[in-house]
């Protein structure tokens, strides 16, 4: 999965979603930023895995002692450092790191966060202090399921086991306690077909990324206009073009 994602994001080049006009309706009361604020203090040290362009860290994370955002894409980290310079914040750093080969110190961080990225709970366990908290937000198999079925492909489309269960079991196996898994359901309404198309070009929703078949190689697909137009016609509402998103949230504690 990691190599597939690296190849995909190497093609994207643009991670700015600000031009996409959409509204959202959350059907689940699980918000990552709120949970981070629940556990963080002014003295906390936070590690953010899969930080991307650093937008979430810079805009939604609380003021704490230290934040390190990491990503295995050099293009992502370049974007994050540019955004950091624009923000003027001094307690945040960004650098390259492979989530599956972590080089952070043992027993150091109070909170580790991971969004939409592959993780190794054993390595995360080592870098957390005793009593530290892991907070994960991921994209689950049934995300955009109607869209994936229409195109007959997509992220985790043919996997036998959802990534939420894979992460949940791996986190428990690593020794974490108080592990909670929450499904997150969101309705998104896109104000124009172009906005939805931009999302599909900049995310792997319709790419054949497998979470379980690691031998699968990444193959970029063009989005067939006739299938896309059919989806738009069938899901156009008074609020916009409907897309059902399904994520998952996990919280866990190192004893």
Confidence band of 203 (pLDDT split at 50, 70, 90)? confident
Nearest Cα residue to 147 out of 80, 209, 180, 196: 196
How far apart CA 113 and CA 36 sit, in angstroms, is 8
CATH number of the domain where residue 42 is located:
3.40.50.150
**At a CB cut-off of 8 Å and minimum separation 6, what does 225 contact?**
none
The pTM (predicted TM-score) of the whole model is 0.89
Domain tally for the chain? Answer: 1
Percent of the chain with pLDDT over 90: 80
**pLDDT tens digit sequence for 95-104:** 999 999 999 9
**1-5, 103-107, 159-163: which has the highest mean pLDDT?**
103-107
How far apart CA 66 and CA 68 sit, in angstroms, is 7
Range of the domain at 236: 2-253
**pLDDT tens digit sequence for 8-57:** 555 544 456 678 999 999 999 999 999 999 999 999 999 999 998 999 99
Written as six digits, the tokens of 62 are 């609380």
């Amino acid at each position: 999965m990691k190599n597939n994602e690296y190849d995909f994001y190497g093609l994207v080049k643009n991670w700015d979603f600000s031009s996409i006009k959409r509204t959202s309706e959350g059907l689940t009361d699980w918000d990552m930023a709120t949970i981070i604020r629940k556990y963080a203090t002014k003295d906390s040290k936070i590690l953010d895995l899969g930080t991307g362009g650093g937008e979430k860290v810079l805009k939604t994370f609380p003021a704490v002692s230290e934040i390190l955002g990491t990503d295995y894409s050099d293009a992502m980290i370049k974007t994050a450092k540019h955004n950091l310079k624009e923000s003027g914040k001094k307690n945040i750093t960004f650098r390259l790191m492979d989530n599956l080969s972590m080089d952070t110190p043992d027993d150091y961080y109070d909170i580790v966060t991971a969004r939409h990225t592959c993780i190794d709970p054993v390595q995360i366990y080592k870098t957390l202090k005793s009593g530290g908290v892991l907070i994960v937000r991921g994209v689950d198999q049934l995300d955009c399921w109607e869209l994936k079925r229409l195109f007959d492909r997509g992220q985790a489309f043919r996997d036998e086991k959802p990534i939420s269960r894979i992460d949940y079991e791996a986190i428990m196996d690593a020794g974490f306690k108080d592990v909670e898994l929450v499904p997150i359901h969101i309705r998104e309404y896109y104000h124009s077909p172009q906005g939805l198309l931009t999302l599909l070009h900049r995310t792997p929703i319709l790419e054949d990324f497998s979470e379980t078949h690691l031998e699968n190689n990444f193959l970029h697909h063009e989005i067939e206009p006739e299938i896309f137009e059919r989806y738009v016609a069938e899901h156009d509402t008074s609020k916009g073009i409907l897309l059902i998103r399904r994520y998952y949230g996990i919280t866990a504690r190192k004893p």
